[in-house]
Structure 1
Amino acid sequence: MLKLTPLQLWNGYFTCFDPDLFLEDDTFSYPEVEKLALEDEDEDSILRKIREDFKEIKQSIDSLNCTSGAKERLTNKLKENTFFFLLASRYFNSVAYHFKTRDLFVPLKVPACTTLKEHEAGYRYNAAGIVMKPNEIDEILGEKAFAYSPYLSALLELSEMLVDYTTNIIIKLSTDSDGDDDLVKGQYSLALLNFSLLTHLQNGFQMLDLKNDGIRRKYDKLKYSVKKINGIVYDLSLRRLFPFKAEVTDR
């Protein structure tokens, strides 16, 4: 997926569900469609596979003949990896959806997290959240007690991935034979979106009192990631390659 542009993600490899589902009914939200993907046994759902593997491995860890401390470390690592896959799944779905459905040359604003909005059928989730929240992960995995330390580690791992993804896509777009097409050029704004997302994450982590050494070390990498993507954005700005602005918003 790290080599697929947002439009290629939509057209060739959508990670959670059939993209046509969104186009048929714009009241659908990510959490709601993710639930459909989990419940439909006839569909080859990545989310359901992640949930099943998580439960199976967690049961295997619980049955190990080792100390409780060792079990806790293994379980936390399992949660960190699983949370990362879910965060990445939501991120790629969100990016694909917004770049597919956006209006040309109109600024792109993507809410950082899923929020509730009023709808004629009651309150529904907003479809645009780019970061999966703890309660959404809980609902997918069927967990009752959420582990925040693995979640923070997974968020920081996602941050590192955004740098690689941004770099790959900018290089790919610069060598695209259809580089003059407005839809293709519009994907350069992915760098703006990812820079905004990383800035949001950095601002959030700055509010935390990080005492965990592992998370603290990963947070130091986040500052480097922000600096690196900022350099990419600056270079593309000088070359006037952004046809529209793109940012992550609080709502």
Structure 2
Amino acid sequence: MDSAQISKIFLDFQEFISQEQDLKEQIRGVIKDLEQQSREILMVLQDIHQNPAQSDVLVCCEKARGFFGQLKEKYSELAAIVPANQFYHYNDMWRFVNQRLTFLISLTIFLETGKLASREQVADILGLEISREKGFHLDLEDYLTGLLHMATELARFATNSVTNGNYERPIEISKFVSELNAGFRLLNLKNDSLRKRFDALKYDVKKIEEVVYDLSIRGLRPSQPTE
């Protein structure tokens, strides 16, 4: 093989590297926009800790939902950029923002309804599929990690609700997070990052239980309605 042939091989390599770098820059541009939107949603939802009355909480949720349509547009852009069948080649680039947005969407839905947001609900808001066979999708592990982040935020919310004189919400949060914990215990988690995050859930459960216990010993726990 002469020097000209070797040069051509490496020039081809350089062309591939340049195309790869250009593609990653396009992806980073969209992810930057998604991260900015996630920060804005987080900022809106942080107000629940200062104004825990349900009417104020619902106002925060309504404001947060105002950003959801923009998210779908950005994910549509992202899906158009990423080559077909190369989702897992690049998905580490958007994994963190997917987890954060899952957390924020799930928190919003819980605050509105008291229920767990399904993977289908979150994916629909983001404009994503749930099946990898259908293309650009919400990875299951990202969805589960987002739920675990939500549990941590709810532990904080339970404490701040008591500080602001709301003694019913910690009871509701305790029941919900305990059920979430029971659900996760049914899973055989293989992903190291997800498993470590799940290990932290027991501390969130304990923190919320301590809030409820403190209400009980202080005689502030609302009495349960009789059947």
Rate the CA distance shift 1:16–1:49 in 2: closer, same or farther, 3 A.
farther
Aligned residues: 169
Report the AA paired with residue 90 of structure 1: I
| Separation of aligned partners in 1, 2:193 and 2:104 | 19
Contact 2:75/2:128, CA 8 A, preserved across alignment: no
1:60 is displaced (CA, Å) by: 8.5
1:203 is displaced (CA, Å) by: 0.4
Report the AA paired with residue 151 of structure 1: Y
Root-mean-square deviation (Å): 2.7
Deviation by residue 1:191-239 (Cα, 9 ceiling, x = unmatched): 1111111110110011000111111111111000111111111110111
Matched, 1:62 2:82: yes
1:76 is displaced (CA, Å) by: 2.4
Higher strand share: 1
Deviation by residue 1:96-153 (Cα, 9 ceiling, x = unmatched): xxxxxxxxxxxxxx5xxxxxxxxxxxxxxxxxxx211011122222222342100100
Name the structure, 1 or 2, with higher relative contact order (CA <8 Å, separation 6+). Answer: 1
Q: Which runs of 4+ in 1 moved over 4 A?
A: 67-70
Q: Which runs of 5+ in 2 are unaligned?
A: 1-47, 132-137
Report the AA paired with residue 133 of structure 1: S
Deviation by residue 1:20-61 (Cα, 9 ceiling, x = unmatched): xxxxxxxxxxxxxxxxx7xxxxxxx232133234434x3587
Aligned counterpart for 1:143 among listed residues 121, 128, 144: 128
1:186-205 aligned within 5 A: 187-205=166-184
| Separation of aligned partners in 1, 2:79 and 2:123 | 17
1:1-251 aligned within 5 A: 1-10=48-57, 13-16=59-62, 45-56=66-77, 58-59=78-79, 62=82, 71-94=90-113, 130-144=115-129, 145=131, 146-173=138-165, 187-245=166-224
| Separation of aligned partners in 2, 1:68 and 1:243 | 49
Q: Identity across aligned pairs (percent)?
A: 24
Rate the CA distance shift 1:89–1:68 in 2: closer, same or farther, 3 A.
closer
Q: Which runs of 5+ in 1 are unaligned?
A: 18-36, 38-44, 95-109, 111-129, 174-186, 247-251
1:8 is displaced (CA, Å) by: 4.3
| Separation of aligned partners in 2, 1:245 and 1:47 | 36
